[in-house]
Structure 1
Amino acid sequence: MIRGLRAVAAAAALAVSGANFASGASAEILRFEDLDGWADDDHQAALSVFLETCADLKSPDWAPICSLAQSQPNARTFFELFFRPVLIGGEAPALFTGYFEPELNGALRPSARFRFPLYRKPPELQDGVQWNSRAEIENEGLLSDRGLEIAWVDDPVEVFFLQIQGSGRVRLPDGSALRVGYGGANGHKYRSIGAELVRRGIYERHQVSAQVIRNWVRRNPEAGRELLQHNPSYVFFREVGHVPAEKGPLGAMNRSITTLRTVAVDPAYTPLGAPVWIEKGGRGPLRRLMIAQDTGSAIKGAQRADIFFGTGDEAGRDAGRVRDPGRMVVLLPIEQAFDLVPEG
């Protein structure tokens, strides 16, 4: 499943759309005592992440709250005084998945080892216009020898998964790293290659994971190339040079995101920048206050969320295991909460 193309332009969606609720999503105001594990969380950690993006929230409901947050109040008291927990679309369990920032091995010049390029968007590709498919791009060499290469890496499978994540780091031979972010796409819809492996009878649905796909493609290079081309979507990158190495990649609000404190949501239901209480079940349950700082093309619906697990292979393994039920509750400013769910 695609973990979302992190679209920088999504920052405009900072308010819940009433039209979506009118079309069927319910909303219920809860008490903080109703949130399982609320008292045990590190609210200060959540407040620090909230401060990363709250200055970008220009709505009259949010501006005074952000101003107060910058004065470093007691974090738990701050959230309990100025927000109300709102359960939106809670008739069915939430679906939680995970995403991460890949780290690839690469170089700034091609070589026998580093043969697979990461490309910038070609100038003729217009936003919102469908261009050539992945198979056409790769088989016809449409991007070759045009000076569009940012770097070259050593594994085409990792290029594919980098495109799914939308951002990552390229570890260079001298030990430094080049960061790349989402730079555009060819306009084709994503097709799941995991689902295609199931359709072909190669695996059962419960067996498919990102690592299983990687291993199968590497064992079957010709068939693997054809399998990857089953997904016609192709993502281009841009260099991201202004984010410190210790910070996370840029999310949809064009700010760095934070391991296990940032969640990607559907901004039609959850305002970007809002605190979100997560109750994730399954293996490795989570009860934690996170901040909605990202989006994803597969993250659709009021109870759908993608949790950021960090950078590198271990984070990728952890993220790839997550497909769990639970509940997510949005913390909204008090007036906004009661406008959405009038008392009485």
Structure 2
Amino acid sequence: MAQPKTQVLSFHDLHGWDHDDQGAALRAFLTTCPRLTGPEWQEACDQARHAQDDPRRFFEAYFRPVLIGNPKKALFTGYYEPELKASLVRTPHFAYPIYRRPPGLKPGRRWYSRAEIEDRHLLRGRGLEIAWLSNPVDVFFLQVQGSGRLHLTNGKILRVGFGGKNGHPYRSVGKELVRLGLLPAHRVSAQRIRAWVKEHPKQGRRILMHNPSFVFFREVSVAHGDGPVGAMQEPLQAGRSLAVDPRYVPLGAPVWVYKRGRHPIHRLMVAQDTGSAIRGAQRGDIFYGSGPRAGRLAGAVRDGGRMVVLLPAARALAMAGGE
């Protein structure tokens, strides 16, 4: 894999830096910094615990902004934690299951595709069902988001998180709808896709099969007020947690996000999650929170901008050749 171009910047190059709430970013950083490895990260983590009085000064003292890759290729999307009604048993209304990972499926190994799993009923009757939802569209988008809060018929709430996948690449259903002329490009959003599939159930089911990736879940124990668990096994924070491609952006690193679009963002976030569709040095997926409002906000995001990673000063300078 070719290494992208890197450029060390100054904090003056981060438009909006002086007006952000770095304290909120510091709180997000503190949740996952104990999982960072390397002495340069640990020094920053140790000092972060005593930086609440002046978080901006802390980030400026221990980090340097590094632009990785070509910002002209930057793409930001959004994701959220759905809240869905569900049942622990199959009923005429709740007839579409979400599954835990089947025994024998090894991480990184390619298994059957979504179409093969669905058409051949490969998971049925194996006792892998966690819960049942009311329609297949909700199952699909729960897999896309990777976590959810299930409001059960018994009045309890069940939190589910990512439990594995079948090893196939993610393919965009929205792009396929545009390619087939079924939706204009400017109208593609999660809400539009959901509505179209529900309005065309037979054709919609085949459209969903365009994405061969299939996600399995696991039950997770998370405090009621916390966000879902991300790739670093800690709760995500709305507006401050970011999914990245860890081949380019270290998990746990602070990231300055400049997002264009209808609702621009100039904000320090923390790379605390990953996603099968998040590929590239300038690719970011912003966590918007839980519930319908977060879903509406996240589903409308598809914007350019740029990501600047904050790396420990010594590491940043080494990348720049000591300049």
TM-score bin, normalised by smaller chain? over 0.9
Give the C-alpha shift of residue 316 in structure 1. 1.1
What's the C-alpha RMSD, in Å, of the aligned pairs? 1.5
Cα shift at 1:141: 2.0
TM-score by length of 1: 0.89
- Residue 156 (structure 2) pairs with residue 163 (structure 1): no
- Give runs of aligned pairs for residues 87-126 of structure 1, distance below 5 A: 87-90=67-70, 92-126=72-106
Q: Distance in 2 between matches of 1:210 and 1:61?
A: 40
Q: Which amino acid aligns with 2:91?
A: S
Residue identity matched to 1:186: N
Q: Post-superposition shift, 1:29?
A: 1.7
Shift of 1:335: 0.5
Which of 55, 66, 73 is the aligned partner of 1:86? 66
Percent identical residues = 56
User: Which runs of 5 or more residues in structure 1 are unaligned?
Assistant: 1-19
Q: Does 1:299 align with 2:278?
A: yes
Aligned-partner Cα distance in 2 for 1:24–1:127: 26
SS of the equivalent of 2:194 reads helix
Partner of 1:61, secondary structure, is helix
Q: Distance in 1 between matches of 2:65 and 2:109?
A: 40
Q: Whole-Å Cα distance in 2 between the matches of residues 187 and 258 of structure 1?
A: 27
Q: 1:225 aligns with which of 198, 201, 205?
A: 205
Q: Which letter does structure 2 place at the counterpart of 1:113?
A: H
Offset from partner CA, 1:57-87 (integer Å, 9 cap, x none): 1211111111111124421111111111111
Which stretch shifts more, 140-149 or 286-295? 140-149
Letter in 1 for 2:260: G
Aligned to 1:146: 126
Task: State the distance in 2 between where 1:120 and 1:91 align.
Answer: 38
- Quote the residue 1:7 is aligned against: none
SS in 1 for 2:72: coil
- 1:314 equivalent in alignment to 2:293: yes
Residue 244 of structure 1 deviates from its aligned partner by 0.8
Determine helix, strand or coil for the equivalent of 2:40. Answer: coil
Helix, strand or coil at the partner of 1:92? helix
- How many Å separate the matches in 2 of 1:182 and 1:166? 5
Query: CA shift at 1:291, angstroms?
Result: 0.5
* Residue 249 (1) aligns with residue 228 (2): yes
The 3 A distance-change label for structure 1 pair 223 and 91 is closer
2:177 counterpart of 1:209: no
User: Pick from 173, 180, 191: which aligns with 2:160?
Assistant: 180
In 1, Cα distance between the equivalents of 2:159 and 2:120? 28
Query: 1:228 Cα deviation (Å)?
Result: 1.4
